[in-house]
A = this chain, B = another copy of it.
Amino acid sequence: MIDDTSAREQVVRAADELFYARGVQAVGMDAVRTAAGVSLKRIYALFASKDDLIVAVLRHRTQVWDAGLASATERATTARERILAIFDFLDSWFRQPDFRGCAFINTNGELGGSSEAVADAVREQKAAFQAYVARLVEELGGPPGLAPQLAILAEGAQTTAAIAGTPDAAEHARAAAETLLDAAARLQTVGGSH
Contact = CB atoms under 8 A, between A and B. Distances in A.
A128 interface: no
B156 A154 contact: yes
Question: How many copies altogether?
Answer: 2
A163 B23 contact: no
Interface of A: 21-23, 25-26, 100-102, 104-114, 119, 122-123, 126-127, 145, 148-149, 151-160, 162-165, 168-169, 172-173, 175-176, 179-180, 182-183, 194
Given A22-B114, A123-B163, A152-B160, 13 more contacts: A23-B25, A23-B110, A100-B113, A102-B159, A105-B163, A107-B109, A108-B163, A109-B110, A119-B163, A126-B160, A126-B163, A149-B172, A154-B156
